[in-house]
Amino acid sequence: MTTLPMNRPLAPADNTFEDPERRAPLVLGHTTFGTVTKEICQVNEAPRPPMAWWIALGISAALAGVFTGLIGYLFATGVGVWGNQNPVMWGFPIVNFVFWVGIGHAGTLISAILFLFRQKWRTAINRFAEAMTIFAVICAGTFPGIHVGRVWLAYWLFPIPNQMEMWPQFRSPLLWDVFAVGTYFTVSLVFWYIGMIPDLATLRDRAGNRIKAIAYGFFSLGWRGSMRHWHRYERAYLLLAALATPLVLSVHSVVSFDFAVSQLPGWHTTIFPPYFVAGAIFGGFAMVVTLAVPARQLWGLKNFITMRHLENMNKIILLTGSMVGYAYAMEFFIAWYSGAMYEQFAFINRAFGQHAWAYWIMIGCNVAAPQLFWFKRFRTSIPVMFFVVNCVNVGMWFERFVIVLSLEMDFLPSSWAYFSPTWVDIWMLIGSFGLFMTLFLLFIRFLPVIAIAEVKAVMPAADPHAGHGHGADGGHGH
């Protein structure tokens, strides 16, 4: 491994090289594979997790319990407990559904697309980004499931023979959602699990008690690390990555069809599929950074989730945020250019109508806040990036809220109303975050949060050319 020349020092503040021609290393503080394994595994092997984990789990589990209780209240009382009304037949449930599906996009993008493009900086963040995808889709799938009203007749929605000889409407985008999101969840789950097999075997071999050894051994599928095992594993991982890549583009495109194939002003537009995909990646990466910043602090993972990882994700947030801002501008331009007065009214009402406050929160959070990331000083500042990504999380929820509120003023002025959520709406939204965080915290405690085998592969020690000055990321030496 080459040493650094004296005129190219490391900047201690943010772990990046002062020389812009040289990249910061992907793994800090480690020169051997053994120390990497030990440091990552200690998250799972520690006798007791940090007190902050217990506090976060207690709060999250309480909110998840509230969510479960409110679902029971909804079943017992009916969908009237929500704020849904005529003409706003879709309220918080569809907003929450689209929001959570979007959150799940970054995981598959990091895992599949960046893997196919050989972006090795993905290795430290792909595992918990994939886990985030699984948990977000679980939260998303809950809302359509409880939105149908007569839940005990939900089997009518499935294309199976039944006594009424009734079949779903295959020309409905709502049914397309079922297939798209179901496929996305299945492929993402398999992709996540296959990637964990070598690391589960590592935890099996290091297990301190028999119960852990049996559990990890069962799920590691007899992995022994032989050449044949690695060959089969890498081939399967590549095929799943290729399969998952079009899903990143297709799933949120199909979700956008819920709106785009309708005839309503403000919805019936061809820009929705790419606009929704960019917004999903935008919101998904913001959530990854939101989770990565405290995780690297609490579990001592700063050597693996480095400032380079966070800065790269912030650059993607800046790019996709600019795309979303462009889409907002184009919506107004097309409404004006079309000459359709209903379309023009819908967008003027968004910006200056009775819910204008929601629209400008969306613009401030999704368009204005990410512009701070043009400056390296802000991209590499933990407080600033944490503020910006949480603005994005808020803004992306309000984006879906503003879109749904296009229903508020329809073609019949006598039907116009002001949509107000009920306390059940608000607490179910908060409770869904509790469910998400409960699953995520349990994942951190019991499963490998970082892909151990993949991190080792990007270290200089794994590069046969490292001694000649070539880094493990395909750039310069570390």
Concatenate the DSSP letters of all residues of 7-75 into one string.
Answer: TSPEETTTTEESSTTSPPPSS-S--SHHHHHHHHHHHHH-SS--HHHHHHHHHHHHHHHHHHHHHHHHH
Q: Residue 465's pLDDT is what? A: 59
Burial 318-348 (b: 16+ CB within 10 A, else e): bbbbbbbbebbeebeeebeeeeeeebbebbe
What is the Cα–Cα distance from 65 to 339, expressed in whole angstroms? 50
Q: Residue 86's pLDDT is what? A: 81
216, 200 contact by CB (below 8 A): yes
Q: Residue 203's pLDDT is what? A: 87
Q: Which amino acid is at 418?
A: Y
Q: Which residues contact 210 (CB under 8 A, 6 or more apart)?
A: none
Q: Which residues contact 347 (CB under 8 A, 6 or more apart)?
A: 266, 331, 332, 335
What is the Cα–Cα distance from 264 to 180, expressed in whole angstroms? 23
Q: Which residues contact 51 (CB under 8 A, 6 or more apart)?
A: none
What is the Cα–Cα distance from 270 to 268, expressed in whole angstroms? 7
Q: Which of 329, 293, 321 is nearest to 392 (CA)?
A: 321
Query: What value, to the nearest 5°, has the Cα angle with vertex 146 and ends 144 and 151?
Result: 120
Q: Residue 30's pLDDT is what? A: 63
Q: Residue 15's pLDDT is what? A: 44
Q: Residue 395's pLDDT is what? A: 94
108, 130 contact by CB (below 8 A): yes
Q: Residue 99's pLDDT is what? A: 93
Q: Which residues contact 352 (CB under 8 A, 6 or more apart)?
A: none
What is the Cα–Cα distance from 291 to 307, expressed in whole angstroms? 14
115, 122 contact by CB (below 8 A): yes
Question: For 339-449, where are the alpha helices, taking DSSP H only?
Answer: 341-352, 356-363, 376-379, 382-404, 423-446
Question: Cα–chain-centroid distance for residue 210?
Answer: 35
DSSP 128: H
Q: Which amino acid is at 399?
A: E
Q: Which amino acid is at 284?
A: G
Q: Where are the domains of the chain?
A: 27-149+169-458
Q: Residue 264's pLDDT is what? A: 86
104, 136 contact by CB (below 8 A): yes
What is the Cα–Cα distance from 22 to 199, expressed in whole angstroms? 31
What is the Cα–Cα distance from 81 to 179, expressed in whole angstroms? 29
Half-sphere exposure of 435 (CA within 13 A, CB side): 24
Q: Which of 253, 369, 289 is nearest to 107 (CA)?
A: 289
Q: How far is CA 471 from CA 110, 117, 304, in A?
A: 21, 17, 16
What is the Cα–Cα distance from 83 to 407, expressed in whole angstroms? 13
Query: Which two structure tokens, joined as six digits, stand for 360?
Result: 């400008």
β-partners of residue 16 are 11
148, 154 contact by CB (below 8 A): yes
Per-residue pLDDT of the chain (478 residues; tens, 9 = 90+): 333 333 333 444 444 445 555 677 677 666 677 777 777 777 777 778 888 889 999 999 999 999 999 999 999 998 889 988 888 888 889 999 999 998 988 788 888 888 888 888 888 888 888 899 999 999 998 998 888 878 888 777 777 777 777 777 788 888 888 888 888 899 999 999 998 999 899 889 888 788 888 998 999 888 888 899 989 998 998 999 888 888 888 888 998 998 889 888 888 888 999 999 999 999 989 999 999 898 888 887 888 888 888 999 999 999 999 999 999 999 999 999 988 888 898 899 889 988 899 999 999 999 999 999 999 999 999 999 999 999 999 999 999 999 988 888 878 888 888 888 899 999 999 999 999 999 999 998 888 888 888 887 777 766 665 544 333 343 333 3
